[in-house]
């Protein structure tokens, strides 16, 4: 164990890139969960990884490849809206199969493939951080603009339509934001770490949050804390970041959910947990 | 049948909404032809047996159902609020009552006392009747000139129905109500006019 690496300036950029994504992805996940579409995150991440690997093989920018593939997946998803979860499952399988085949048959894609599957955040540089910050700004502004429409369409669909609005337009815009965030995260922290940050913090926030606003704060704080702990453990124990990030988030989430259940049980018996 | 009804209370006001011989449905027509108009202050009840197309007629007004024949004319800039019967449970969502009302722009002022004190709780923790009333209130008090309510008394106890009746009778002169209900007594007590649809 060598936790002195935490003070090494070499790891500052990867830490900040991961932190930016840990603030961004849980917020996106809150809205994906609102629409029961959290599986979309995994589908988009798999498509992004395949796109990144293809770009690497062709000598093109990896992040751009991931972004184009994920945005393309969001467009296809909108066009095939009726397929619902089945559409995501298909995309997930296509992305996974394409990525594995590219890694197996294209030596130049092999190293990147390992980074994408292992979640090696340490290879990210200033470019990744700048892109992550820019994406955070765009997604935050986009979510602020779309939030009310997405919530209204979910909880008052008939009222929403009676006002002359069309859910599809708002959902498509949100899908583009989700695809951009997921693609960038996939090429920085790997497929499953990106998915874990989209899935676990909102899952916990939906259990604990007393309001939508509180839920957003809980999800974002949960993601940021999970990233900090996972990064410290990964560096100190010399382990890949991705799996540790997923495991830390799950341990935090399950522990929190158990506390939540205990609190509810005590409340039912008239003894509020203080 | 064709219901030719003018539900207006004041002859001077222009209609907010007018239906002329409307036949509506989805793949095929299921209701109509029907004609009526509503003006500010009107409270029009639509009664009829299950399956006669009452809800479809409301959806034709909002544009969700297909109009096969006839015409729906809305006043320029008309805002419609639509509450449908039956809704998905909100259990599991981190959303409180105040946030739910804010989505439609409905104020909390005027809510019954048994709901006013629970606005900061998660909506999923409310009873079925309380939830129904809160959603109803969100649509009823949203900024809108025409309010469409579909079976609003579902899940409400006697106290809730009584409170709703008072609110609906006092909507104000600039707003019109179109109410679908299987409860003929409720329609009679609340509405200023009514049409009955045949099966």
- ipTM for this model: 0.86
Q: Please, what is the average pLDDT of chain B? A: 86
A173, part of any domain: yes
Angle at A187 between CA A138 and CA A105, to 5 degrees: 145
Contacts of A84 (CB under 8 A, 6+ apart): none
The domain containing residue A47 runs over which residues? 3-192
Lowest mean pLDDT among A42-51, A56-65, B3-12, B97-106: B3-12
Which residue among A148, A163, A211 places its CB closest to the CB of B96? A211
- Interface test mutation site (partner B, options A27, A152, A156, A219, max chain B beta carbons within 10 A): A156
The reply to whether A262 falls in a domain is: no
A213 reaches B (C-beta below 8 A): yes
Q: Is residue A272 part of a domain?
A: no
| pLDDT for res B9 | 46
Segment B164-178 shows an average pLDDT of: 89
Residue A263 resides in a domain: no
Is A240 a domain residue? no
Q: Which domains, from first to last, does chain B contain? A: 4-196 (3.40.50.300)
* Predicted local confidence at residue A83, as pLDDT: 66
CA distance B133 to B144: 18
A84-136 confidence digits (pLDDT tens): 678 888 888 999 999 889 888 888 778 788 778 877 776 677 888 999 999 99
DSSP helix/strand/coil, B18: strand
Q: Does B6 touch chain A (CB under 8 A)?
A: no
Q: At B177, phi and psi to the nearest 5?
A: -120, 135
> Among residues B172, B169, B100, which one has the least CA distance to residue B136?
B100
The number of domains in chain A is 1
Classify residue A206: in a domain, yes or no: no
What would the mean pLDDT of A143-147 be, rounded to a whole number?
96
Q: Phi, psi (5° rounding) for residue A218? A: -60, -45
Q: Do A159 and B142 touch (CB under 8 A)?
A: yes
Percent of chain B with pLDDT over 70: 92
Q: B157 touching A, CB under 8 A?
A: no
* Interface contact B136, partner A, CB < 8 A: no
pLDDT band at B2 (very low <50, low <70, confident <90, very high): very low
Query: Which residue has tokens 């239906």?
Result: B19
Q: Is 60 exceeded by the pLDDT of residue A231? A: yes
Q: Does pTM surpass 0.90?
A: no
Asked if residue A257 lies in contact with residue A204, where contact means CB atoms within 8 angstroms, the answer is yes
Residues of B in contact with A208 (CB under 8 A): 94
Range in B27-41, B58-72, B85-99 the model is least confident about: B85-99
- Site from A158, A166, A202 to mutate, B interface, most B CB atoms within 10 angstroms: A158
Element (H, E) at B198: none
Tell me the CATH number at A59.
Answer: 1.10.3470.10
- B93 at interface of A, judged by CB pairs closer than 8 A: yes
Min Cα separation B186/chain A (Å): 23
Task: Say yes or no to pLDDT of B199 above 80.
Answer: no
Q: How far is CA B186 from CA B123, B177, B183, in A?
A: 27, 14, 5
- Kindly report the average pLDDT of chain A as a whole number: 88
What are the tens digits of pLDDT across the range B175-194?
999 999 888 888 889 998 98
């Amino acid at each position: 164990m060598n936790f002195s690496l935490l003070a090494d300036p070499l790891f500052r950029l990867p830490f900040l890139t991961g932190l930016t994504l840990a603030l961004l992805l849980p917020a996106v996940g809150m809205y994906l969960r609102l629409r029961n579409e959290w599986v979309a995150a995994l589908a988009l991440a798999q498509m992004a990884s395949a796109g990144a690997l293809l770009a690497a093989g062709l000598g093109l920018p990896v992040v751009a490849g991931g972004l184009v593939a994920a945005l393309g997946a969001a467009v296809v998803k909108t066009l095939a809206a009726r397929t619902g979860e089945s559409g995501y499952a298909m995309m997930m399988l296509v992305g996974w199969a394409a990525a594995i085949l590219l890694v197996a048959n294209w030596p130049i894609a092999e190293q990147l493939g390992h980074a994408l599957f292992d979640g090696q955040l340490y290879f990210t540089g200033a470019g990744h951080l700048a892109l992550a910050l820019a994406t955070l700004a765009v997604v935050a502004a986009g979510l602020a603009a779309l939030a009310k429409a997405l919530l209204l369409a979910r909880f008052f669909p008939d009222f929403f339509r009676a006002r002359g609005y069309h859910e599809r337009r708002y959902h498509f815009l949100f899908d583009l934001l989700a695809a951009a965030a997921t693609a960038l995260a996939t090429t920085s922290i790997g497929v499953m770490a990106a998915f874990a940050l989209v899935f676990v913090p909102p899952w916990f926030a939906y259990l604990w949050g007393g309001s939508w606003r509180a839920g957003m704060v809980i999800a974002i704080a949960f993601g940021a804390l999970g990233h900090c702990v996972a990064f410290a453990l990964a560096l100190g124990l010399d382990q890949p970041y991705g799996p540790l990030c997923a495991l830390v988030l799950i341990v935090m989430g399950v522990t929190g959910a158990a506390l939540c259940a205990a609190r509810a049980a005590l409340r039912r018996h008239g003894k509020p947990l203080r | 049948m064709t219901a030719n009804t003018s539900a207006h209370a004041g002859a001077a006001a222009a209609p907010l909404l007018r239906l002329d011989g409307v036949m509506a449905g989805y793949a095929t027509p299921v209701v109509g032809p029907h004609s009526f108009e509503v003006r500010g202050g009107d409270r029009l009840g639509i009664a009829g047996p299950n399956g006669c197309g009452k809800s479809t007629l409301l959806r034709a007004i909002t544009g969700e159902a297909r109009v096969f024949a006839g015409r729906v004319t809305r006043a320029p800039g008309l805002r419609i609020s639509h509450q449908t019967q039956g809704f998905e449970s909100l259990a599991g969502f981190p959303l409180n009552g105040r946030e739910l009302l804010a989505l439609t722009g409905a104020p909390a002022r005027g809510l019954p006392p048994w709901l006013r004190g629970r606005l900061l709780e998660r909506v999923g923790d409310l009873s079925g009747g309380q939830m129904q009333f809160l959603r109803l209130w969100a649509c009823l008090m949203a900024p809108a000139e025409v309010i469409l309510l579909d079976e609003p008394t579902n899940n409400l106890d006697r106290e809730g129905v009584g409170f709703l009746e008072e609110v609906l009778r006092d909507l104000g002169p600039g707003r019109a109500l179109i109410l679908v209900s299987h409860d003929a007594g409720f329609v009679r007590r609340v509405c200023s006019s009514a049409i009955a649809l045949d099966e």
